[in-house]
Amino acid sequence: MITIELQQMVFYEHHGIYEEERRVMNSFEVNLSVSYMENNPVFERIADTISYVNLFKIVQEKMKEPVYLLEKICQGIILNIKHQYPTVSEIRISIYKLQAPIEHFVGKVGVTMHRSF
């Protein structure tokens, strides 16, 4: 099994349940792991693996679509990856809001979604 990972991707977008969050950009960190069983252990061409460039584009496009809940973004990214790469057996994605609108809170908040196929 091989796992392709994209870690600590940072996006500035308009997600959140509060109107202020959707008006003002917030920063988000995304971590993604995509696993699959390799068919060809030679690994000489990009076709022998999953392109992390394509994975980044999938995440980037979904992050641009404003939503109320981070869970919806996770779900959309997982569905798009599975559609583009049917051989994927496992996807784990975490999205963190780096400046959460919680009084006196220092840190980041987020969700992790994990799917096995």
pLDDT given at position 64: 94
The DSSP letter of residue 98 is S
| pLDDT higher than threshold 90 for residue 18 | no
| pLDDT higher than threshold 80 for residue 24 | no
Least confident of 10-24, 51-65, 91-105: 10-24
Give the architecture-level CATH label for domain 2-116. 2-Layer Sandwich (3.30)
Q: Nearest CA to 92 among 112, 77, 75, 107?
A: 112
